[in-house]
Amino acid sequence: MKQARRREVIRTGTTVEQMVRAIADMIVTGALLPGEKLDEISLASRFEVSRTPVREALRELGAMGLVGREPNRSAVVTNVTETHLHSMFEAMAELEGICARLSAERMTVDERRALELDHRGSMRLVHSGAEEEYAAHNTEFHTRLYRGAHNDHVFEMVTQTRARLAPFRRAQFRLPGRLAKSYEEHDQIVMAIMRADSVAAGQAAYSHVAIVSDASAVFATAGE
């Protein structure tokens, strides 16, 4: 089987998963425009597969909200306008705020310790300017917050939202000085959580995301 250029993402094994990612990327990057029809036959030939996996991918994209579906109609690209993007970042900030607030109230002693340790350890990455590594740490850090809220459904929502925003945030740590800023903001959150100050933790997390949102908006528009 030939998979020449289809490997660009990650080897997720199943064809459908690859297509979901590929099409999702095309939508968020603007390669597919809002309102555009996605007929199964064209997609099938474009990806060199049959219609069956295409249909499953479209159904998943529909569940993700990236395409609209109606019976006996072609799937159409959902309008991921600037305002919608903004609404996702705002929602993300709210969710992060909730997670941080609940984390401040509910994290176990072990979770708090692990969070602080991980956070302190990241200072080294800031100093050495290791963007890639810091990005990985950043993901880990936020995941700890999501877990610390001890609420499965909130975890789901925030994880999914983050996934949908991922394409828009890729380059954020390339901005000069963003690493150090990020560390400082994390510091605010960690300290609030350590002293179980839920209000402060929530607010710190909220503005942390709001700042990232602004930073990413630069790239989103610049990328066009």
Least distance CB 26 / a second copy (angstroms):
19
The entry of DNA, a second copy, none that residue 128 binds, CB within 5 to 8 Å by partner kind: none
Residue 156's Cβ-side half-sphere holds a number of Cα atoms within 13 Å equal to: 4
The entry of DNA, a second copy, none that residue 152 binds, CB within 5 to 8 Å by partner kind: a second copy
Is 173 within 8 Å of 67 (Cβ atoms)? no
Distance CA 98, CA 117 (A): 22
The entry of a second copy, DNA, none that residue 131 binds, CB within 5 to 8 Å by partner kind: none
Which positions touch DNA (CB under 7 A)?
14-16, 38-42, 49-53, 55-56, 69, 71-75
**Which residue has tokens 């394409």?**
167
Residue 74: left (phi > 0), alpha (psi -120 to 50), or beta? beta
Q: Which is nearer to a second copy, 17 or 187 (CB)?
A: 17
The size of the chain, in residues, is 224
Q: Please give the order of strands across the beta sheet that includes 37-38.
A: 37-38, 75-77, 67-68
The entry of a second copy, DNA, none that residue 51 binds, CB within 5 to 8 Å by partner kind: DNA
Distance CA 163, CA 75 (A): 21
Q: Which is nearer to DNA, 72 or 221 (CB)?
A: 72
Least distance CB 31 / DNA (angstroms):
18
The entry of a second copy, DNA, none that residue 91 binds, CB within 5 to 8 Å by partner kind: a second copy
Least distance CB 83 / a second copy (angstroms):
8
Distance CA 183, CA 119 (A): 8
Least distance CB 86 / a second copy (angstroms):
9
Which positions touch a second copy (CB under 8 A)?
13-14, 16, 52, 55-56, 59-60, 62-65, 71, 83-84, 87-88, 90-91, 94, 98, 151-154, 156-157, 161
Burial environment of residue 128 by CB neighbours within 10 A (0 to 12, 13 to 18, 19 or more) = exposed
The entry of a second copy, DNA, none that residue 49 binds, CB within 5 to 8 Å by partner kind: DNA
Helix (H, G, I), strand (E, B) or coil at 75: strand
Q: Which is nearer to a second copy, 60 or 118 (CB)?
A: 60
Least distance CB 166 / a second copy (angstroms):
14
Closest CA to 183 of 92, 140, 122, 139: 122
Q: Which is nearer to a second copy, 33 or 123 (CB)?
A: 33
Is 148 within 8 Å of 111 (Cβ atoms)? yes
